[in-house]
Structure 1
Amino acid sequence: MIRRIRIAGFGGQGVMLTGQLLAYAANEQGLYSVWVPTYGPETRGGTANCAVTISDKPIYSPIFKKADDLLVFNLPSLHKFQELITDDGNIFYNSSLIEEEVKQPFHLYGVPMNEIANKLGKPQVANMAMFGAYLKVNKIFKDEVIEDSLKHFLKGAKEALLPVNKEAMAMGAKYI
């Protein structure tokens, strides 16, 4: 088993956290993982993407040309990466911000991540709606592994955000 995942959007949309969660959860479940971040020159509002590879065997290179799964949080990221997907790959896109038709032959999953986050009153959990949708389609992880991974990243002052993040994930999964 090997999954090559690209996550892309603007800085501040939770692109890196989503990738870190996937990589961390894979390690917690006894799988191998590599997380490679790429930032634009700006921090917030600039481009950001990361590549995550998850495998049941050692990973010898963090670089891949085509992803099995693409999670795109904005239109520029869709334009940049939609051609770099395997033929039977999955594109999860933010239907709150991407209104144009996404090219086939991929499996498409539109997730209104901004709308879900706004319903919860926390715009910063939009990425968790996408994360929940992704987990629903790709059943790689046990629920307790995801819960422990969330707790790992949301500790200290961020611990109070755990319930709303879980709710955003559930709403994203339900949307699929």
Structure 2
Amino acid sequence: MYQGVIMSGFGGQGIVSAGILLANAGMIEDKYVTFFPAYGAEMRGGTANCSVVVSSEEVSSPVVARPDTVIVMNEPSLHRFESQLKPGGLMLINSSLVAAKPKREDIEIVFVDANTIAEKIGTLKVANMVMLGAYSKKTGAVNVDSLIKSLPKVYKKAKEDMLKKNQEALRKGMEEV
């Protein structure tokens, strides 16, 4: 099993922390993982991305040039990464913020109304977890229980209420797909 994913969105949407959470969940399951964040000029409001590999075998490179999955949290990310997705790959799109439709017909496209779901939970901060829950269910790369176990490790300073909202968001994301 090999699953290379690129997550991309606005800075402040929790893209990098979602990638760290996914990598931690893979480690809990004794899988090989890599995590490669895109730092630099990105800041709150700019576009940020990261790539994560979760594999049953050793990973030779943390760079994901042709991802199996792309998680798109904003419209610029759709335009930037659509062409890189492998034929037959999965594109998870936050339909709350992305009005454009992918042009490719050789990929699986799943729309998730992540922001609306997050608002119902009580905070937009968990929209990334909604998407990660959907990713977990669609790909099987990691089990959602491993993501939930990773939450306190990744969000060390989070209050119990926020951890519960993240858990709920992961589960709601799974229910959407």
Q: TM-score w.r.t. structure 2 length?
A: 0.93
Q: Which residue of 2 aligns with 1:27?
A: 27
> Would the aligned equivalents of 2:3 and 2:141 in 1 still touch at CA under 8 Å?
no
Q: Which residue of 2 aligns with 1:95?
A: 95
Q: Which residue of 2 aligns with 1:10?
A: 10
Q: Which residue of 2 aligns with 1:46?
A: 46
Aligned to 1:83, the other structure's residue is in SS state: helix
Aligned equivalents of 1:160, 1:132: Cα separation in 2: 18
In structure 2, give the amino acid aligned to 1:139.
G
Deviation at 1:72, TM superposition (A): 0.7
Aligned equivalents of 1:64, 1:175: Cα separation in 2: 26
Cα deviation code 1:63-91 (max 9, x no counterpart): 23210000010000100000001101000
Aligned to 1:137, the other structure's residue is in SS state: helix
Percent identity for Structure 1 against Structure 2:
39
Deviation at 1:151, TM superposition (A): 2.3
Q: Which residue of 1 aligns with 2:64?
A: 64
Cα deviation code 1:109-166 (max 9, x no counterpart): 1011111111122111111110111111112323432221112123344333111111
| Runs of 4+ more than 6 Å apart | none
> Would the aligned equivalents of 1:75 and 1:97 in 2 still touch at CA under 8 Å?
yes
In structure 2, give the amino acid aligned to 1:169.
L
Aligned equivalents of 2:32, 2:61: Cα separation in 1: 12
Aligned equivalents of 1:26, 1:130: Cα separation in 2: 17
Aligned equivalents of 1:45, 1:143: Cα separation in 2: 28
Aligned residues: 176
Q: Which residue of 1 aligns with 2:77?
A: 77
> Would the aligned equivalents of 1:29 and 1:145 in 2 still touch at CA under 8 Å?
yes
* Greater per-residue strand proportion: 1
Aligned equivalents of 2:59, 2:132: Cα separation in 1: 23
> Would the aligned equivalents of 2:151 and 2:163 in 1 still touch at CA under 8 Å?
yes
**Residue segments in structure 2 that go unaligned for 5+ positions in a row:** none
> Would the aligned equivalents of 1:154 and 1:161 in 2 still touch at CA under 8 Å?
no
